[in-house]
Amino acid sequence: MAFLDWVLHPTELWAAFWYVMRHAPPDEKTVKLQVSGDMKRCYDFLEMTSRSFAAVIQELNPKLRDGICLFYLILRGLDTIEDDMTIPGAKKRDLLESFHKIIYQDGWSFKESGPDEKDALLLVEFEVVISEFKRLPDEFQEIIADITKRMGSGMAKYTRSRVESMEDYNEYCHFVAGLVGHGLSRLFSESGLEDKSVGENLELANSMGLFLQKTNITRDINEDVIDGRCFWPKAIWSKYAGSEETLISKSNRENGMKALNEMCANALSHIPDVIEYLSSIREPSVFRFCAIPQTMAIATIALCYNNSRVLDDNVKIRKGEALKLIAASTDLDNIKRIFYRYLETIEDKNSPDCWTFEEVRKIVDKAKKDIATTLKGGPPVDFTKEYLAIILFFVTLFTFIYQYNASGF
């Protein structure tokens, strides 16, 4: 199946080739970054916990690179505690609410993670993160500690509460992702690489985080319900099912699809803010850092919309598709073209029998119109490139076979 994917999407194979050529192995990266000791170990943890974020973080301007690496690892540690269902509730809340103090405690580590917690080693060796965090400029430390405090408090709240209303849903997503957007935006401005307005317009920064988080929550419904939790707001799923388990049941598939499409529509509503935020970013490495996750999100929502597989499994975009998005996320015009293309994909999938047909049609039409009116050269039309690449691939293949046979070997 993987080979067939490459054959049917040869431009993704080309993108994968260039990605491999551009990105050195992890050990070579850290040597190139000229880091050693605890900071080198921090970059090792960055590679272990997020291969996708690791690449873009290590390509950031040196004024931001270490600070955002440590910001990511601190929040990953916090998130690892929140996700660990083996930690008793009271103890988990205490850890979450005090984590902003823990990051100043020399030598602190946590060895009580559950056996299935994939990022447990980060908490076991967390003293290296603390050591390097305390070396950051005071202004960076204050921003990171503030976001950690607010996020930990919000996470602790939702260990007791369920996501019931749409207000709960937006608040939860703000705590776990919108605040990340706040912190990053403030760090961008504090570094001097971006205008002060980037760190002040936190509503747009919040939307950046919400679009990513809502995409992940929408996609992960099957995995989450199996693990005994659900972050889809009850205000949505209760209209279509009596329980979370019934929501993903094959016997309730038509109603489950209605709930899925409503979740997708809610995520899509953040697109105007995402485009506006990205239009305010000037430094190239910061732009790529911000833009790449957003392109992954729009591709994922396009994959999830009206797709029954989401209720049965954890669907993901193809690796080649992801690498192609990484390669293309270089400037605002390219990002607009990517969004426009996936909006067209959603439009094609949005049949009149979809429960959310009118809502999604309005969101997609407006977003496409806004993009088309500001895009240099007008709306993109590049689907033919993939088909031309497929034709070229097969012409080359058959030419090779013909010459091979003609040579008499």
Q: What are phi and psi of 59, to 5 degrees?
A: -95, 0
Of 172, 175, 339, 342, which is the active-site residue? 172
Residue that is written with structure tokens 């390669």 in the block:
327
CA–CA gap between residue 218 and residue 46 (Å, rounded): 25
289 catalytic per annotation: yes
Of 71, 188, 289, 342, which is the active-site residue? 289
172 catalytic per annotation: yes
62-83 helix and 284-304 helix, angle to the nearest 10 degrees: 30
Residues 6+ apart with CB under 8 A from 175: 150, 151, 153, 154, 155, 157, 158
Of 19, 150, 158, 229, which is the active-site residue? 229
Q: Concatenate the DSSP letters of all residues of 167-209 into one string.
A: HHHHHHHIIIIIHHHHHHHHHHHHHTSS-HHHHH-HHHHHHHH
Residue that is written with structure tokens 């049917």 in the block:
8
Q: What are phi and psi of 330, to 5 degrees?
A: -110, -25
229 catalytic per annotation: yes
Of 93, 219, 288, 337, which is the active-site residue? 219
Any idea of the CA torsion for 113, 317, 359, 378, to the nearest 10 degrees? Answer: 130
Question: What would the two tokens of residue 341 be?
Answer: 């293309």
Distance of CA 45 to the CA centre of its chain: 18
Q: Of 393, 346, 321, which is closest to residue 10 (Cα–Cα)?
A: 393
CA–CA gap between residue 291 and residue 41 (Å, rounded): 27
Catalytic positions are: 172, 219, 229, 289
